[in-house]
A and B are shown apart, each in its own frame.
Chain A
Amino acid sequence: MKRIGAIFLGSVFVFCGVSFHTSEAAEFYAGKTIEVVVPFKEGGGTDVWMRVMAPYLQKHIAGNPKILIRNIPGGESIHGVNQYVLRYKPDGLSMVATSATNYFHALLGVKAVQYDFAKLKPLLVNPVGGVVYAAPYLGVKTAADLPKTKERLVYAGISATGLDLVMLLAFEVLGQDLKAVLGYEGRGPSRLAFERGESNIDYQTTPAYVASVVPLVKEGKAIPLMSFGQVSETGALVRDPAFPELSTVGEAYELLHSKKPAGAAWEAYKAFNAAAFSIQKILWVKAEAPPESVKAVLEGVDRLQKDAEFNQKAENVLGGYPALRGDRLEVAIQRTFQLPLEARRFVQELLEKKYNVVVK
């Protein structure tokens, strides 16, 4: 009986939902507050991203809800997402903003992770990209020249289980030896290490590359080699729209080995690249959130994309990439999290053998 009742009630809701869709979506957030959990510290990349977005979302979501940002940092930023999943109601009034690290923990199977992205719905996605550049004294002009250099490639990184993994996997794919010196505090310090000659090959994400590396390139102190590429909705690696002139890691492989890349390393590279860059920042809501709330936000994102003031003001934070509607990318996002078993094993073995890391 209970079940029939539930189905009946459910269909009434669906009926109402369909018939009064637009008005309900418009009214859902009127006079309400959306709390956005940011599992990082104030001033971090994801926090800044959300803070830049917040006033425009406030303006474009029907009903103009107030957006409150709640930073829950700590616990390797697993803690904040765990808190969101475990302690917040699926009422559409709370969301979570995540970044690459959160996906890496899930992809690597870290035990402390209590969230499952399949149970969340992406609302807003912001891709970003990365460019690999080298010191001029290596004598390389493109990635295809890499085998010719006599110097040992030295890379200054942070941690093998962080964003650096994409760089390490790229060089696994290319079959190029790379000495990774790990332990730097962040991408900024590792760029400093490049500038003072401690490393001779490095990468930076798009905004940092544009702000800090392009001046070096102009001075002749750095040579751009390749971009990490973007993983398209069909799962192929395509050129980065912010750097259409740079070849991708895949293209570099083809030039070096005269065949298309394939295999576990390639699959792993694509998955971690997607997680790190193509879908780097995502604003999620719980999958069970009221459909009218989801609709209201998605329609808000539509209007946001057309806002000229937003596009101009947020250019730096967006890094030359569009803010995308989450539902359009849902398939691609969920595909990223279904990493083939052999690819996961490949990464775990790489981490264990080369970098002394056992994922727990």
Chain B
Amino acid sequence: MWDSALVALGMFLDPFHLCMLLVGVVEGIVIGLLPGMGGTACVAILLPFIYQMGPHTAMAVLVGALAVVHTSDTITAVLIGTPASSASATTVLDGHPMARQGQAARALSAAFLSSLIGGFIGVIALTLSIPVARPLVLTFGSPELFMLCFLGLGFAAFLTGETPLKGMISAALGLLVGAVGVAPNVAHYRYTFDQLYLMDGLPLVCVALGLFGIAEVVDLLAGGGKIAERIDLGQGWMQGVRDVIQHRWMVLRGSLIGVWTGILPGIGASAGSWMSYGHAVVVSKDREQFGKGDVRGIIAPEAANNAVEAGDLIPTLLFSVPGGPPSAILMGALIVFGIQPGPRMLTEHMDLIFTIIWSFALANIIGAALCLALCVPLARLTAIRFDYLAPAILIIMIFGAYQSTRHMGDISVMLGLGLLGWGMKRLGWARPPFLIAFVLSNPTERYLWISVNRYGLSWLGRPGTLVILGLLIVSLAYWLLSRRRKKPDETSQAMSDWRFRPEAVFTLGVMFLLAAAAWDASGFPFYAALLPLVVAIPGVAMAAGQFVLDLRGRDRQKEVLDLATSEAAASRKGTLRALLVFAIIVAYYGLIVAVGFRIATLIFLVGFLRFLPHAGWGRTALYTAGMFAVIEAFTRLLDMEMAEGIWQLWP
């Protein structure tokens, strides 16, 4: 085994091989930065280019890109509060508030360093577990996988902050939105309204991008000004490094959580970073700062998301069961070279396995080093007036979301969830439970029914099931016991007057949605109906309870574990501005549908720059030219696509 390791390492002495790794790393970093693309896009884009290479070089490029995506996606998450990939939505929670407090450099350096360490621990775990991977993976049957999903859903409870009711309704919504499409255990389509687009369910990237990204951009624009009024550059950089050293055990635990979620296929990569975040909240004594810029909220998930990719390589290479779409593409690439992943990889292609491992390790170092070097200049971005940044961000988000399945539905989903996300953020509903429930909706249902169909109820007594259940109970108990209860202070008492407030309207809307979902589900076949019913019916009851609380105005002052809205944006004027911004985005989308991406973007961009930041014609022209150069480059060089309109005037 170890001589293959050396042979594979020796290949990096070849400058071409190393160069290709660098190409992969740079591509991974660039794609990682773009909202909406993430891991899948970064390897898919490279696919057509790898034919001329040998399998070793091809793996160096692909793995090089894959290893750094979750390092660079942090930048977008921290600086503009927009998750570039679904896994980085976790980083938004604490990273973005830190950026707004002027601590972008600290947040970024802490994130990159923990990413690096997470990736490294992932690689070590990957190497060590090769001989024992088989029995390890095979101990986890469907009941254990179900219990892990259940544990993840339990973790969602930790992310609800002081408004558990809203948090639980939010999770219920997530589970139901996740149920759209074909039911996992019976070929029945739920909530698809005869739309072909909805049959495969909603794309995770578009959901995450809408819920956090669009909502954040709208909110920032409504508030006006810059992301951070005052920035703290040089000091922050070192502080981030110190933070990681101080919380080294959290980095280790986060990485291990990541490796495990990666190794077990079926749970999904982004669940790993959420579970790691949940664990950070549980084990921390002082939790008040989570969601408001606690550095631990960055360190834990960032350590996890790189480790996930490393762990994911085990089932991909040894079982040919990829854990996520990026590794599915990696596996496809291997097959292109005539190598079918599976147990025979260990005897026949050990050198290739080590090429992959070394590429991952090297890419991790190079990627983190590049990103660390970029920390300070990138942090300066937060000092630019946001209305200058916003149109570029919006255009790239829409362009990126469209790449996910190249259907207008992608943009609709993102904007629809953007509106919901903005409403939730504005009215103090925690969004993390929504996203984690969305991610786990399908696997939970899938493995529950498989367990029940296969084992009846006897699976409940399996040792694995009991161990995971025990873990959940212990975490819950620890969390509940160590929760410091805030005494209701004077102001919230005084607020207790019965009045019809805007939040009540929102709650009423949610209640209506839940009721409609339950009503529709009552007509589904049993296996398709049970989960939606079990979720939606209590959901309606909880929403009714929340409605009463809204009328009394009791929740107004409470802390939510999510990004808060700035004061300017929370005012009546801010709300109107937000709605106006939203209308502009929808109009832009309408234009795309009508005349295609190019012309629509031109009109939107020029209009936006002229009327919002009141940019002069010179600046507007320069900005527009730059934007188009970037988009044209992506389309041509990386085989991406622009949405076509009904009346496509300009090809």
User: Which A residues contact B (CB, under 8 angstroms)?
Assistant: 41-44, 47-48, 51-52, 55, 69, 71-76, 78-79, 82, 112, 154, 156, 159-161, 181-186, 188-189, 191-193, 195-198, 207-208, 210-212, 215, 313-317, 351, 355-358, 360
Contact = CB atoms under 8 A, between A and B. Distances in A.
Interface centre among B186, B335, B454 (most CB of A within 10 A): B335
Contacts of B40: 42
Contact of A316 (B187, B329, B340): B340
B340 A188 contact: no
Contacts of B454: 154, 181, 198
Interface centre among A51, A160, A193 (most CB of B within 10 A): A51
B321 A315 contact: no
B188 interface: yes
Interface centre among A71, A181, A207, A355 (most CB of B within 10 A): A181
A156 B333 CA distance: 27
Interface in B142-178: 142
A44 B333 CA distance: 10
Given A42-B332, A51-B336, A215-B342, A69 B200 contact: no
Contact of B320 (A52, A188, A358): A188
Contacts of B44: 42-43, 71
Contacts of B343: 211-212, 215
B142 A193 contact: yes
B406 A185 contact: no
A316 B339 contact: yes
Given A48-B332, A183-B185, A212-B342, A79 B407 contact: yes
B184 interface: yes
Contacts of B453: 181-183
Chain B, interface residues (CB within 8 Å), range: 35 or more
B187 A159 contact: yes
Given A79-B196, A317-B338, 9 more contacts: A48-B335, A73-B200, A74-B407, A182-B185, A189-B321, A195-B138, A208-B320, A212-B320, A356-B188
Contacts of B51: 51, 55
Nearest to A189: B321
Contacts of A215: 342-344
Interface of B: 40, 43-44, 47-48, 51, 137-142, 182, 184-189, 196-197, 199-200, 265-266, 319-322, 325, 328-333, 335-336, 338-344, 405-407, 446-447, 449-450, 453-454, 525-527
A351 B186 CA distance: 10
Contacts of A314: 338
Nearest to B320: A188
Nearest to B345: A211
Contacts of B330: 43
A154 B332 CA distance: 30
B433 to A, nearest CB: 24
A161 B197 CA distance: 19
A169 B319 CA distance: 28
Contact of B329 (A42, A52, A76, A184): A42
Contacts of A69: 48
A91 B624 CA distance: 37
B312 to A, nearest CB: 13
A43 B333 contact: yes
B335 A317 contact: yes
Contacts of A210: 340
B340 A211 contact: yes
B405 A356 contact: no
A159 B446 CA distance: 11
Contacts of A74: 196-197, 199-200, 405, 407
A356 B527 contact: yes
Contact of B338 (A156, A185, A313): A313
Interface centre among B339, B343, B525 (most CB of A within 10 A): B343
